[in-house]
Structure 1
């Protein structure tokens, strides 16, 4: 009989090499590594459980290692950041969440609005009706918590996006879309579009950890209930360590580009109001904090989370930021720690 952990690995589609070591962060290769469906399977399960591995790409890296550490801490396991035998046993009950699904595109899944391009100049952005997606593949990628390049890799070369076309996507579908009744219709549509899980635990405290580059949510008993990879500050705009509070949540916000508080933007520039949309610099939601000018928010560039710098704020993927927004309430403590 196979050892128990090996049997679990076979069920999950993981080989013995995956048991031995987790995917570690490596220097970017000249070409993307092939998608490993076993790694994608683990990413999908963690994503559904609220331990966000960032983009679902089947390639691992720093975001998956962080997600594994969070899951292991929450389950009382040894914190290794690896897909080890105890972690496989803990993941086993959720194995029914397959790594991919095949959908048939319909008119709604391809419908815009779209814009021709995103101007780099803030003044030009302010003239747009909204910071919408540029093309359907970008929309589909965000819906399924991935990137256009991953979708291309999962499907036959040259596949055209058209009504009736079957397409393979990471399995990011939520178990529930029963969003809060007091949410506006527009916000409910955004949550549904992003496949945000409605059945989330309510947090009692949020901790933003600068060294680990994660946002952690704890319940009233001090138990870790969710964790997400984040981009946190920069050398010129370091995270203001201390104890803060959630003031309010602003779904689908516009963003005021204020050159006087943004590093790298000339003070001679005029302030601009950038309209709402998934490509807005703060994404689809702004969680305003008691530290002036600081918030937890989304991003138009999910693949850069944890790998680039921000203008001091705490940046998550749009889908993770939206999920955190469902977990918090006004007055909740938010701790920024080194």
Structure 2
């Protein structure tokens, strides 16, 4: 798909800003921001300055449609150049509701019998798509040396809970059943996701353990949503200003799990599951300037207390959604590369 000319111009402006000497970037971004004992990365301040100038937000005033358009638009600005060494093909996953769209990413030089990551994109269960996270999937495939099966699950509010969860469960079942056809080793299947995708991935793993079927050998959770039943201190510290706001999360939650759904249900809030024993080794990252920070770290602690091997990584100087910004600056890619390295060590070539 060709990129519209105005978008190419704006992307060039963003890249040019990040190419400036550090002093000029600091002058553009403004005084260093410190909150809750953390200093925001200059790379993050620059992208926030652009977002404030353009008045872009995670939720557009026009509602669902414009919000989805905004996320698709943003990937052209901050996703970076396409990693062409990763081969891509569309995959249809059969299920009761009709064929589920997915996309298989295979990095160059990775042969048959590789590890496979079932990847679930973020976007508050409402926005995001295979396209919006194409650059993230390519990055994880290339750096992690694994195949990546990215899942195009149904979105709210047209398809509220549990539709998206059912789709991710179907995708995981498909990955195990068709691993050889996908070029993967069924003993080296991982699952992961970012934000709301991390929520769906975490719940899917819990459900897999409870069902007694095959369970992924690793989970990769980037700044996941883990508890919609309450708000912790990070919601207060970062309620606004840092792209994802506390009000944004309320808007997403109201569309994904509207009343009278019980948000203490562990299928919505995986942190509240009674038993977390038996879950696979986990890499879980949080962003310091993120309303979701504290609930993500609470989930890591709960996993540890249940005997799960967890590596918790707080990217204290970054904002929510940092994996989507890997095409600008260096700090976003650096943080995402850490996650990819954990994936490589767990199931990669």
Q: Which has the higher helix share?
A: 2
TM-score, with length taken from structure 1: 0.25
TM-score, with length taken from structure 2: 0.25
Bigger radius of gyration among the two: 1
Higher relative contact order (CA 8 A, sep 6+): 2
